[in-house]
């Protein structure tokens, strides 16, 4: 996978303290458990030192979410979808 995930989390830092485990070990365990339960949402969850989690959304999940918001105006093979605006914003 190139670059960063679609989402990132520092949850492993908090969990590691509560479990008394090293941050990387907690991150790996958390990533494995989340991926196991949510393979329909993520195609990967990577652990990045010192313990961040990078979440990569699956294309099928993204497509389904877009279709949930854009309702077809009519049914059938020539159905036209409503309008949708998708915007990417970078803080940098």
Query: What are the φ/ψ torsions at residue 90 (nearest 5 degrees)?
Result: -115, 130
Q: Which residue, among 80, 78, 43, 75, has the nearest Cα to 59 in the 3D structure?
A: 43
pLDDT at 67: 80
User: Cα 72 from chain centroid?
Assistant: 26
More confident residue, 81 or 37: 37
Percentage of the chain lying above the pLDDT 90 cut: 59
More confident residue, 25 or 79: 25
More confident residue, 90 or 73: 90
Residues composing the chain: 92
Do strands 52-57 and 7-9 pair parallel, antiparallel, or not at all (unpaired)? antiparallel
Query: ∠ CA(73), CA(78), CA(83), 5° rounding?
Result: 40
User: pLDDT at residue 73 above 60?
Assistant: no
User: pLDDT at residue 79 above 70?
Assistant: no
| 89 confidence band (pLDDT: 50, 70, 90) | confident
pLDDT at 32: 96
């Amino acid at each position: 996978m190139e670059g960063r995930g679609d989402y990132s989390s520092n949850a492993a830092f908090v969990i590691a303290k509560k479990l008394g485990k090293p941050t990387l070990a907690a991150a790996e365990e958390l990533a494995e458990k989340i991926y196991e339960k949510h393979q329909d949402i993520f195609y990967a969850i990577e652990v990045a030192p010192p313990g961040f989690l990078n979440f990569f959304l699956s294309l099928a999940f993204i497509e389904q979410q877009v279709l949930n918001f854009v309702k077809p105006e009519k049914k059938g093979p020539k159905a036209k979808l409503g309008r949708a605006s998708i915007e990417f914003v970078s803080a940098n």
